[in-house]
A and B are shown apart, each in its own frame.
Chain A
């Protein structure tokens, strides 16, 4: 095949870009790991396909999951994606820890490979672990908490998921074909321009992030409208659960903060593909524009990541303390204040990049201001626990660890917010320790708490608590060991993103951090074990009544697993914590007087088509395979326009009689279950109906 033919068909793909061959071509420790990762992806894909075929699961997976627009199923798919990416991201993190522990005068990884590792680690953890995780939880929980049948735009929801999956697929594919960027998750030009990285690396980053960025913007629009328009009668704003409030704030941030990212990545793409000069060194490019655009997105993004976790903690602490949330209005105001302030501090990510000292001072003060609403939240949660009926359940363990560790991390943030101090420690591991201290106890623990807390609502059985505690303690101890030493080496002057070093004083600290990385890996193993054991023992942890934790918000008033239509009739809300209030008065399980037909949106192929052809579009663009890119874009355009013209062709109507039958059967089953007290929360006798113990105590 001639050279021209080859590049017309395969773009710039060639034999050297096949990573799984490199272990044979250049046998070294570094290339063994590189190829090993490629083989893991290939084998993982083959095993998944084989298992699905062996158990004949293609049909059910297609009809019940991939084409579904049910918000709960879409949410579960987001979280599955997040957990898979968490696996990869954490292993990459642990690998970097081991390299640094071994990195005095060398180590076993090449600088280039290390650069790819920290770039994919950051990109994955932010865009393909944390974002899908929180989007998944919001998807599952918010419509239930506000008493809605589904989100406002179910097809759009599926489309957003497809875009996020496509972005994640590109990052996975970069393990097999070619290399990823070495420019970090922020991809600062001019280093990510063609002159410094002519290969495919930054292009993978650009298209992965752009696809998921657009998907996230659409998710934001979807949830703002859902929360504004789909609330049940009587569900006023000040009766919305705290998680829904934080979801609203997050969705608003998505609408307004994702566009700067899209602008930044598209400009970088214009530079790389079309020879523009937005950020180049030559001909009048200005990379400071990139720094500003990226962090105009990047800082609100931090709050997109943390606010849903705050929401989860609010629910978890209130439920597992058996008390209503202390200071609900102040929590609402604090959340919205954080959302507003998040747009006013972006410059603190580059204090050292040459602006006036007064400008730095303004942004430093604005940064410190965020500590105030966050502090209010911490006090509110502590006051909620005060004299509560506290159970140290797995979500509660995460929540308590969060409160202690997050305050410590916040204090280091206040230190960094001071520009003169920031000049000393910027670009050191002190900063790396700080933001991991915020994002792991903040976002990740929050997501894992939410995952444990709402798992029975979705699947109808509880997660195994023994493995849950093991995972939680491994995460907590592993995190502390892995990141607290980095504060020390950071203050000693060790720069971030450093593959090896010559100062032996760093090594003891990095050895401790390496041990922490190993313990975090054990946490991952525990989480996998937890799923296996929980599924095996699911008969003993069945949640039938749908209320295993004596919950307070509306989602606990539904059966577990929740039927596709969520509520037999849309509830009318008369109070904050409606389900708790109703239960205390003895009206927890009501029978509606009459039922009516329920209309639900029909399945759609839009999501899966988007996932497949979005991936192909990105792949074509990365490798200059223009025919593939054009074809994929055309397929996507035709799909969307076609769907727009034809509309939902298969809407579902569930007859009132069927709803009545299902609901009455569930009520009858609930009445046969003995309600359990909180002392028996983790006992096999807990079938999801809570005894009304606090009310009785108060009456006595």
Chain B
């Protein structure tokens, strides 16, 4: 729609081309949320690093006494694979390869996420049994502030995955569902990235 002589300053013309794109808005909002969340993780990392001192160990166990690479490596493998399978789900969605394939890869992702959580809980139980509880020292408080926070995010992501599976069951792959799954995928990859940080700083850094 064009106006031949538009008045200066502003003009009131009905413009059907100017429509909202809710999916794009939601995506922008979600990026901002992740930036905000990243600040939280950044500060938890910062706190953890400042607590890597003998003063904060308070005579209790330090990273060398607590962490073992095999367990952390298995958790890493589970989560990294799950981000790959979510990528396959996203591709199946993008190229319209059918709802069944999308659902299949999302279920694989969910299963791997649950495997990751199981391994993590197992590790925490092991630590608690050894007396390495958050109440023991500032360092352990920082550890249990950082790593389970990531675990909580994975739990939230898993619940979200279940919700999306329910929604696909209810309404099929609508535009709304697709845009939500796209954001969930972003979230899942984001958690993967955080985990790479945790693996490097907490586990590799702790054992080195």
Taking the closest CB of chain A, its distance from the CB of B55, in whole angstroms, is: 6
| B58 contact set on A, CB distance < 8 A | 277, 282-284
User: Within 8 Å of chain B (Cβ to Cβ): is A295?
Assistant: no
Interface residues on A, range: 35 or more
Instruction: Name the interface residues of A252-286: CB closer than 8 Å to any CB of B.
Output: 255-256, 258-260, 262-263, 267, 270-271, 274-278, 280, 282-286
- 17 CB contacts below 8 A, A to B, read A225-B25, A255-B35, A256-B36, A260-B39, A271-B141, A285-B56, A286-B56, A293-B47, A569-B14, A571-B10, A571-B12, A572-B13, A577-B9, A585-B9, A591-B12, A595-B14, A645-B170
Instruction: Name the interface residues of A274-320: CB closer than 8 Å to any CB of B.
Output: 274-278, 280, 282-286, 289, 293, 296
Taking the closest CB of chain A, its distance from the CB of B5, in whole angstroms, is: 11
Q: Closest residue to A569 on the B side, CB-wise?
A: B14
Given A574-B6, A591-B12, A592-B13, is A284 in contact with B144 using a C-beta cutoff of 8 Å? Answer: no
Taking the closest CB of chain A, its distance from the CB of B159, in whole angstroms, is: 8
Binds B, one of A29-37, A200-208, A216-224: A216-224
Instruction: State which of B11, B16, B57, B166 has its C-beta within 8 Å of the C-beta of A571.
Output: B11
Binds A, one of B86-94, B116-124, B132-140: B132-140
User: Within 8 Å of chain B (Cβ to Cβ): is A365?
Assistant: no
Taking the closest CB of chain B, its distance from the CB of A193, in whole angstroms, is: 13
Q: How many residue pairs between the two chains, A and B, have CB atoms under 8 Å in the bound complex?
A: 184
User: Within 8 Å of chain B (Cβ to Cβ): is A587?
Assistant: yes
Instruction: State which of B24, B28, B36 has its C-beta within 8 Å of the C-beta of A217.
Output: B36
Contact, CB under 8 Å: B15 / A647: no
Q: Closest residue to B140 on the A side, CB-wise?
A: A277
The distance in angstroms between the C-alpha atoms of A594 and B167, with both chains bound, is 39
Contact, CB under 8 Å: B56 / A276: no
Instruction: Name the interface residues of A191-239: CB closer than 8 Å to any CB of B.
Output: 217, 220-222, 224-225, 228-230, 232-234
B-side interface mostly: helix
Contact, CB under 8 Å: A594 / B141: no
Contact, CB under 8 Å: A578 / B10: yes
Instruction: State which of A258, A592, A645 has its C-beta within 8 Å of the C-beta of B12.
Output: A592
Contact, CB under 8 Å: A258 / B10: no
Contact, CB under 8 Å: A582 / B9: yes
The distance in angstroms between the C-alpha atoms of A281 and B7, with both chains bound, is 69
User: Within 8 Å of chain A (Cβ to Cβ): is B176?
Assistant: yes
Query: What per-residue 1/0 map shows which CB atoms of A325-347 lie under 8 Å from chain B?
Result: 00000000000000000000000
Taking the closest CB of chain A, its distance from the CB of B145, in whole angstroms, is: 7
User: Within 8 Å of chain B (Cβ to Cβ): is A180?
Assistant: no
User: Within 8 Å of chain B (Cβ to Cβ): is A152?
Assistant: yes
Contact, CB under 8 Å: B8 / A575: yes
User: Within 8 Å of chain B (Cβ to Cβ): is A596?
Assistant: yes
Given A284-B138, A572-B15, A641-B163, is A255 in contact with B7 using a C-beta cutoff of 8 Å? Answer: no
| 10 A-B pairs with least C-beta separation | A284-B138, A581-B9, A582-B9, A284-B58, A587-B7, A284-B56, A578-B10, A276-B141, A259-B39, A592-B12
Contact, CB under 8 Å: A267 / B47: yes
Instruction: Name the interface residues of B3-44: CB closer than 8 Å to any CB of A.
Output: 3, 6-16, 18, 20-21, 24-26, 28-29, 32-33, 35-37, 39-40, 43-44
| A594 contact set on B, CB distance < 8 A | 14
Instruction: State which of B9, B51, B141, B163 has its C-beta within 8 Å of the C-beta of A580.
Output: B9
Contact, CB under 8 Å: A275 / B51: no
Which of A225, A256, A557 has most B Cβ within 10 Å?
Answer: A225
Q: Closest residue to A228 on the B side, CB-wise?
A: B28
Q: Closest residue to A581 on the B side, CB-wise?
A: B9
Q: Closest residue to B37 on the A side, CB-wise?
A: A259
Contact, CB under 8 Å: A259 / B43: yes
Instruction: State which of B11, B25, B44, B140 has its C-beta within 8 Å of the C-beta of A574.
Output: B11
Taking the closest CB of chain B, its distance from the CB of A238, in whole angstroms, is: 15
User: Within 8 Å of chain B (Cβ to Cβ): is A570?
Assistant: yes
Contact, CB under 8 Å: B11 / A572: yes
Taking the closest CB of chain B, its distance from the CB of A206, in whole angstroms, is: 15
Measured CB to CB, the residues of B under 8 A from A are 3, 6-16, 18, 20-21, 24-26, 28-29, 32-33, 35-37, 39-40, 43-44, 47, 50-51, 55-58, 60, 134-142, 144-145, 163, 166-167, 170, 176
User: Within 8 Å of chain B (Cβ to Cβ): is A414?
Assistant: no
Taking the closest CB of chain B, its distance from the CB of A9, in whole angstroms, is: 28
Taking the closest CB of chain A, its distance from the CB of B23, in whole angstroms, is: 11
| B36 contact set on A, CB distance < 8 A | 217, 220-221, 255-256, 258-259
Contact, CB under 8 Å: B10 / A274: no
Given A233-B15, A572-B15, A647-B176, is A277 in contact with B40 using a C-beta cutoff of 8 Å? Answer: no
Contact, CB under 8 Å: A587 / B135: no
Taking the closest CB of chain B, its distance from the CB of A567, in whole angstroms, is: 8
Q: Closest residue to A587 on the B side, CB-wise?
A: B7
Which of B10, B11, B39 has most A Cβ within 10 Å?
Answer: B10
Contact, CB under 8 Å: A267 / B15: no
Contact, CB under 8 Å: A256 / B134: no
The distance in angstroms between the C-alpha atoms of A255 and B18, with both chains bound, is 28
| B163 contact set on A, CB distance < 8 A | 641, 644-645
User: Within 8 Å of chain B (Cβ to Cβ): is A593?
Assistant: yes
The distance in angstroms between the C-alpha atoms of A286 and B163, with both chains bound, is 40
Instruction: State which of B9, B35, B144 has its C-beta within 8 Å of the C-beta of A579.
Output: B9
| A271 contact set on B, CB distance < 8 A | 141
The distance in angstroms between the C-alpha atoms of A152 and B23, with both chains bound, is 11
Not counting A284-B55, A583-B9, a sample of 8 additional A-B residue pairs whose C-beta atoms are within 8 angstroms of each other reads A221-B29, A259-B37, A277-B138, A572-B3, A573-B10, A575-B9, A579-B10, A590-B7
The distance in angstroms between the C-alpha atoms of A259 and B12, with both chains bound, is 41
| A471 contact set on B, CB distance < 8 A | none
Q: Closest residue to B21 on the A side, CB-wise?
A: A229
Q: Closest residue to A149 on the B side, CB-wise?
A: B20
The distance in angstroms between the C-alpha atoms of A581 and B7, with both chains bound, is 9
Contact, CB under 8 Å: B137 / A225: no
Contact, CB under 8 Å: A229 / B24: yes
Contact, CB under 8 Å: B11 / A590: yes
The distance in angstroms between the C-alpha atoms of A582 and B170, with both chains bound, is 51
Contact, CB under 8 Å: B11 / A645: no
The distance in angstroms between the C-alpha atoms of A276 and B8, with both chains bound, is 64
User: Within 8 Å of chain B (Cβ to Cβ): is A171?
Assistant: no
Given A274-B135, A284-B51, A284-B137, is A574 in contact with B29 using a C-beta cutoff of 8 Å? Answer: no
| B25 contact set on A, CB distance < 8 A | 152-153, 225, 229
The distance in angstroms between the C-alpha atoms of A277 and B6, with both chains bound, is 66
Given A255-B35, A572-B13, is A587 in contact with B8 using a C-beta cutoff of 8 Å? Answer: yes
User: Within 8 Å of chain B (Cβ to Cβ): is A554?
Assistant: yes
| B144 contact set on A, CB distance < 8 A | 276
| A224 contact set on B, CB distance < 8 A | 28, 32
Given A284-B57, A557-B10, is A570 in contact with B137 using a C-beta cutoff of 8 Å? Answer: no
Instruction: State which of A225, A293, A596 has its C-beta within 8 Å of the C-beta of B43.
Output: A293
| A75 contact set on B, CB distance < 8 A | none
| B6 contact set on A, CB distance < 8 A | 572, 574
| A591 contact set on B, CB distance < 8 A | 12
Instruction: State which of A283, A585, A644 has its C-beta within 8 Å of the C-beta of B8.
Output: A585
Q: Closest residue to A590 on the B side, CB-wise?
A: B12
| A580 contact set on B, CB distance < 8 A | 9
Contact, CB under 8 Å: A267 / B145: yes
Taking the closest CB of chain B, its distance from the CB of A340, in whole angstroms, is: 15
| A230 contact set on B, CB distance < 8 A | 20
Instruction: State which of B26, B29, B32, B139 has its C-beta within 8 Å of the C-beta of A284.
Output: B139
Query: What per-residue 1/0 map shows which CB atoms of A582-621 lie under 8 Å from chain B?
Result: 1111010011111110000000000000000000000000
The distance in angstroms between the C-alpha atoms of A631 and B53, with both chains bound, is 40
| B9 contact set on A, CB distance < 8 A | 573-575, 577-585, 587
Taking the closest CB of chain A, its distance from the CB of B50, in whole angstroms, is: 6
| A234 contact set on B, CB distance < 8 A | 10
